[in-house]
Amino acid sequence: MDDHLMESAPTMHQTLQNIIAACNRVILGKEPQIRLALACILARGHLLIEDLPGMGKTTLAHTLAQVLGLEFRRVQFTSDLLPADILGVSVYDRNAAAFKFHPGPVFTHVLLADEVNRATPKTQSALLEVMEERQMTMEGETRKLPEPFFVIATQNPTTHIGTFPLPESQLDRFLMRIRLGYPDARSERHLLAAQGGRAILPTAAAVTDAAGLIRLQAAVTEIRVADALLDYLQALLEASRRDPRLEMGLSPRAGLALKQAAQAWALMQGRDFAIPEDVQAVLPSVAGHRLINAEGGPADASVLLNSVAIP
Amino acid sequence: MTEQKLMLHLRWLLRALALVLAPFMFQLTPWVPLMALLLGIWRYWLAYRQQPLPGMKILAPLTIVGALGILASHGGIFGRDAGVALLVLMAALKTMETRTRRDITLAVFLGYFLCVCVFLFTQSILVAGYIVVPLVMLTATLVSLSQPGGGLSGGAKLKLAGLMLMQAVPVMLVLFVLFPRVPGPLWGLPEDMARGQTGLSEDMSPGSISELSKSDAVAFRAVFKGQVPESSKLYWRGPVFWHYDGRTWRAGQPPKPAGETHLQPLTAPMEYTVTLEPHNKSWLFFLDLPTHWQTAGQLTADYQVLSREPVRQRLRYDAASTLHYLERSQLDATTRHRALQLPTVGNPKTRQLAAQWKAESPTPQAIIQRALQMYRDGFTYTLNPPQLGASPIDGFLFDTKRGFCEHFAGSFVFLMRAAGIPARVVTGYQGGQSNPMSDYLIVRQSDAHAWAEVWLQDEGWIRIDPTAAVAPQRVERGIAAAIPATEPLPALARPELTWIKRFNLGWDAVNNGWNQWVLGYNDQRQAAFLSKLAGTKVDWGDMARWLVILLSLVVAAIAGLMLRNMPRQTDPVQRQWLRFVEKLARVGIVPKPAEGPKDFAARAALQLPGKQAAIEHITRLYLQSRYGGRKGLADLHRRVREFQPR
């Protein structure tokens, strides 16, 4: 079925297609994850990538930044990383006879927080605070972060040694959590032949730039969400709180995240309105890390999908 | 089915079956329910420890041992007890091989069937109330089974099961009232159904009635059309005994049907209805003497009324009796011979006394008076008479002088016969207890009584109750008034209205209603009730018609309620879409739960390649109108109307 191209900006759809195509050339065989990650960025959300080491988490983050034409910083989180190592530090400048602020790596468009769960809770919360505020206050002075700004955090499965699992309240600040998984045989072959992956990352050209991304993000908020769809969203939230299989339901923030992600997904489909399928496409990634099942373990968001009829 | 889910369903099933089993604990040979219980516990333990189920090598011998055990305990596998025992055991063994959903379903239906079997033993209100519990549990097991995700909590499952059963209640009521009843049971009930019921027996010896008098059990209940006669007039006639063998009174020979009766009622007959508890004998109880018995049974020459077969189920019959009458029957030679029969030897002192009276007295009436006078002077009425030796009547009349009604009636008839007056023993019940909570009379086994009848020239058979001579209170105010408070009389026969007795009478009133309206709702009662309701005579055809009409109404009402609870679709766009979905459903393309419209349309287009364009167009219009805020209703309406899936 042909989608309904946006009359106002048919080029936006084209731009998005180009971004996806460019990423696909580097990250092989992971188009669904690329689409979700892009939707997350378009919805002005932060992204959590959770997988085993060596699955291409960092490459994905790096590729996205490069294709979107954004400034990119990477911080490797370790257990001795301090908040100042991310945020920056004021140092006394003898010449100016004053403290001078040396901005940390957080002052960028895309911050890749690699292995975020290896840092201490103190450092984690410093990062998560700026993620939410998109600005930082130090010594009475408030400094805005650049626009656009988003964090792509990667995380090892928490069962690994030397990790501080992110608490639920922190996980809620990530709009989406995705998993990459092993590549399929064909992609893996290409990867081994150095026809993809980090090897060809330098060749990936920027499709848009910061201003272009801001325009795209603005377009997302314009995507129409009809009353009927709000009913559906509400039914999903309601069900997540009432379902006896789930111990913890979705927060209102999660509801907003779900709506924004669905809008972004609709934009990527070239529609100026969102439909239930958009919600269904993003729900597992938006809700997966926020739900806790009755046994206290991670819950499968698809149980939610199947139990709520579309009004 | 995963191990975990099986465990969940199994827990429901085993709990439900345990509850079904409970009432059988009191009814079956104890080892059968016990073995079933142990099997259930074993099954639960295996599931709990996730151990494999026992194989055929263990189950087959167990089954054979169980079946042989039942054969040994009951002497066969037929009849109620053996049949139900077998069923209980097999249901328990069935759980030992439940691995799949199908197995559990089968066990649930076995459980339902066992619920019905409980009523083969007892149909009391308490059991009927109790059975609801396992019924809900069994239904909850089915609810649990039909939940693919195992979603609902335990309480929610019970609630849903209860709700489903509640919805069935109106249907049950309609079927109960209107389903045409057939006369008599649908199938022959097994012989052993009537085992262990108390009541009068076909013989009388010293101690037999006093033993019966210690039972509280209800013999029958009676409702009178008019005023209840005073207690001393309430002689409920039962078996009549002619033959004495020196110790025991018996009927002697089978009762002859009544020929022409010589009964002349002096007052208008008294009409009443008796609800007789099953006693496994064929006699029916009527007040002396019956004038209307035809609908209940057959009258014999000695005024017993016998039903055609033993009373194995509660029986309700209309009756009329006259309490004041003249019975001017003549005695033919055979009957006279029977009424004077005595053993050739034994009780010499009594015979001597009778001979002496006969010589000294001018009329039979005088002999009777002397006998009664003798009882009045120095005899004691007691529930616990002393043991009597080889000549029981001599022993009673000359030594112990303490006895219960059977002693008085037996010795009196012996005396009369020895003095040449034809006489016989009549047993039955005397008196009864009026239930103050409701308008009926309860006659218990403790009201069992024996009295005498003598035949006099020109007067026919007349009743003489020697007990009344010794203890007039017995017939005027009931047994409790005549027996010293120290003797072990059943609590309910005592006159004081304690709270426990009050409760008991109230409970008896409830039970009486249950018997009359639920258990006693037979073909006649149904026809009478419905005819009264309709105002005209109601036949089977009418019942069937009303059955169909009322059932349709009930189902429609429930459907209406359910529809009203469903969200009403007010959006016209959505209505058109649902019409479209319905058209596709007719060709077998049904939306999956929670399937989005676009996904559904794509699937439909794949299945109907020829209609792809139309489906896509309608879907596009729908999505734009419902979610995109565009105006496309008229177009959508037209296209949905024109859409033909074939």
In-domain check, residue B495? no
Range of the domain at B90: 3-146
What mean pLDDT value characterizes chain B? 84
In this predicted model, what pLDDT tens digit does every residue of B385-397 receive, in sequence order?
Answer: 888 877 888 888 8
Residues B251 and B379 in one domain: yes
A235–B contact, CB cutoff 8 A:
no
Residues B137 and B210 in one domain: no
Looking at chain B, the whole-number percentage of residues with pLDDT higher than 70 is 93
The confidence band for B630, taking pLDDT boundaries of 50, 70 and 90, is confident
In this predicted model, what pLDDT tens digit does every residue of B144-170 receive, in sequence order?
Answer: 888 755 567 788 889 989 998 998 898
Residue from B103, B288, B465, B508 carrying the catalytic annotation = B465
Are the CB atoms for B589 and B608 separated by under 8 Å?
yes
Residues A287 and A187 in one domain: no
Radius of gyration of chain A (CA): 20
In-domain check, residue B160? no
Radius of gyration of chain B (CA): 36
B425 pLDDT above the threshold of 90: yes
Residues B246 and B366 in one domain: yes
State the pLDDT at residue B183: 66
* In chain A, alpha helices (H): 10-26, 31-42, 57-67, 83-87, 121-133, 168-171, 185-192, 210-222, 227-242, 252-268, 276-287, 302-307
ipTM of this model? 0.84
B405 assigned to active site:
yes
> Exposed/middle/buried for A3, CB within 10 Å: 0-12, 13-18, 19+?
middle
CATH number of the domain residue A213 falls in: 3.40.50.300
Average pLDDT rounded to a whole number, residues A131-154: 84
Are the CB atoms for A67 and A224 separated by under 8 Å?
no
In-domain check, residue B189? no
Report d(CA A77, CA B344) in Å as an integer. Answer: 121
- Mapped onto helix, strand or coil, the DSSP state of residue B242 is coil
Q: Pairing relation of β-strands B440-444 and B218-224?
A: antiparallel
**End position of a domain, from candidates B128, B146, B164:** B146
In-domain check, residue A255? yes
Residues A103 and A244 in one domain: no
Are the CB atoms for B621 and B613 separated by under 8 Å?
no
Average pLDDT rounded to a whole number, residues B339-363: 89
The confidence band for A296, taking pLDDT boundaries of 50, 70 and 90, is low
Report d(CA B611, CA B146) in Å as an integer. Answer: 36
**Plot region of B268 (φ>0 → left; ψ -120 to 50 → alpha; else → beta):** beta
**End position of a domain, from candidates B102, B122, B146:** B146
Residues A230 and A241 in one domain: yes
Token code pair at residue B306: 């016998």
Q: Which residues contact B424 (CB under 8 A, 6 or more apart)?
A: B240, B241, B242, B302, B339, B413, B452, B453, B461
Are the CB atoms for A4 and B624 separated by under 8 Å?
yes
Residues B110 and B256 in one domain: no
In-domain check, residue B496? no
Residues A155 and A44 in one domain: yes
Give the closest of B149, B153, B594 to A305, CB-based.
Answer: B594
* In B304-404, alpha helices (H): 333-339, 348-360, 364-376, 392-394
User: Which residues in chain A have Cβ-Cβ distances shorter than 8 Å to B594?
Assistant: 280, 305-310
Contact B153 A244 (CB under 8 A): yes
Identity of the residue numbered B125: I
- Residue with tokens 């496994």, as numbered in its chain: B280
- Mapped onto helix, strand or coil, the DSSP state of residue B472 is helix
Report d(CA B48, CA A54) in Å as an integer. Answer: 42
User: Which residues in chain A have Cβ-Cβ distances shorter than 8 Å to B626?
Assistant: 226, 228
Q: How far is CA A19 from the centre of its chain?
A: 16
Range of the domain at A193: 10-222
Report d(CA A90, CA A100) in Å as an integer. Answer: 5
Are the CB atoms for A263 and A286 separated by under 8 Å?
no
Question: First vs last Cα of chain B: how many Å apart?
Answer: 39
The confidence band for A233, taking pLDDT boundaries of 50, 70 and 90, is very high
A245–B contact, CB cutoff 8 A:
yes
Residues A179 and A283 in one domain: no
Report d(CA A22, CA A18) in Å as an integer. Answer: 6
Q: Which residues contact A234 (CB under 8 A, 6 or more apart)?
A: A255
Q: Which residues contact B568 (CB under 8 A, 6 or more apart)?
A: none
Which residue has better confidence, B260 or B395?
B395
**End position of a domain, from candidates B146, B177, B194:** B146
Q: Provide the domain count of chain B.
A: 3
CA distance B169 to chain A (A): 30
**End position of a domain, from candidates A222, A244, A262:** A222
CA distance A258 to chain B (A): 16
Average pLDDT rounded to a whole number, residues B355-369: 90
In-domain check, residue B535? no
CA distance B44 to chain A (A): 23
Give the closest of A244, A271, A277 to B596, CB-based.
Answer: A277
In-domain check, residue A3? no
Are the CB atoms for B324 and B307 separated by under 8 Å?
no
Residues A25 and A105 in one domain: yes
What residue in B sits closest to A243 (Cα-Cα)? B151
Nearest to B542 by CA among B522, B521, B550: B550
**End position of a domain, from candidates A222, A240, A271:** A222
The confidence band for B413, taking pLDDT boundaries of 50, 70 and 90, is very high
Residues A105 and A183 in one domain: yes
DSSP one-letter code for B231? G
Backbone angles phi, psi at B324, to 5 degrees: -120, 125
Report d(CA A259, CA B488) in Å as an integer. Answer: 83
B140 pairs with which residues across the strands?
none
In-domain check, residue A306? yes
Residues A31 and A131 in one domain: yes
Number of H-type helices and E-type strands within chain A: 12, 11
CATH number of the domain residue A291 falls in: 1.10.8.80
Residues A216 and A293 in one domain: no
Report d(CA A32, CA A30) in Å as an integer. Answer: 6
The confidence band for B226, taking pLDDT boundaries of 50, 70 and 90, is confident
User: Which residues in chain A have Cβ-Cβ distances shorter than 8 Å to B623?
Assistant: 273, 275
Count contacts between A and B (CB, < 8 Å): 68
Residues B313 and B439 in one domain: yes
B332 assigned to active site:
no
- Mapped onto helix, strand or coil, the DSSP state of residue A35 is helix
CA atoms within 13 A on the CB side of B191: 2
In this predicted model, what pLDDT tens digit does every residue of B118-142 receive, in sequence order?
Answer: 888 888 888 999 999 999 999 999 9
A298 pairs with which residues across the strands?
A292
Residues A182 and A229 in one domain: no
In-domain check, residue B565? no
Identity of the residue numbered B324: H
Element (H, E) at B619: helix B612-626
In-domain check, residue A5? no
In this predicted model, what pLDDT tens digit does every residue of B56-115 receive, in sequence order?
Answer: 888 899 999 999 998 888 877 777 888 889 999 999 998 888 888 888 999 999 999 999
State the pLDDT at residue A5: 39
Report d(CA B67, CA B97) in Å as an integer. Answer: 18
Report d(CA B185, CA B284) in Å as an integer. Answer: 19
State the pLDDT at residue A4: 42
The confidence band for B187, taking pLDDT boundaries of 50, 70 and 90, is low
Report d(CA A42, CA A45) in Å as an integer. Answer: 7
Report d(CA A202, CA A205) in Å as an integer. Answer: 8
Q: Provide the domain count of chain A.
A: 2
B74 assigned to active site:
no
Find the chain B residues whose C-beta atoms sit closer than 8 A to any C-beta of A.
149, 151-153, 156, 567, 571, 574, 593-599, 601-602, 605, 616, 619-620, 623-624, 626-629
Residues B373 and B477 in one domain: yes
A242–B contact, CB cutoff 8 A:
no
A262 pLDDT above the threshold of 90: yes
Residues A104 and A145 in one domain: yes
Report d(CA B423, CA B414) in Å as an integer. Answer: 8
What mean pLDDT value characterizes chain A? 83
Residues B229 and B126 in one domain: no
- Mapped onto helix, strand or coil, the DSSP state of residue B278 is coil
Residues B438 and B370 in one domain: yes
Contact B593 A276 (CB under 8 A): no
CA atoms within 13 A on the CB side of B231: 18
**End position of a domain, from candidates A178, A204, A222:** A222
In-domain check, residue B248? yes
Nearest to B32 by CA among B81, B94, B97, B98: B81
In-domain check, residue A2? no
The confidence band for A3, taking pLDDT boundaries of 50, 70 and 90, is very low
What DSSP string runs through B390-435?
Answer: SSHHHIIIIII-EE-HHHHHHHHHHHHHHTT--EEEEEEEE--EEE
Residues A153 and A291 in one domain: no
In-domain check, residue B47? yes
Q: How far is CA B197 from the centre of its chain?
A: 13
Are the CB atoms for B274 and B285 separated by under 8 Å?
yes
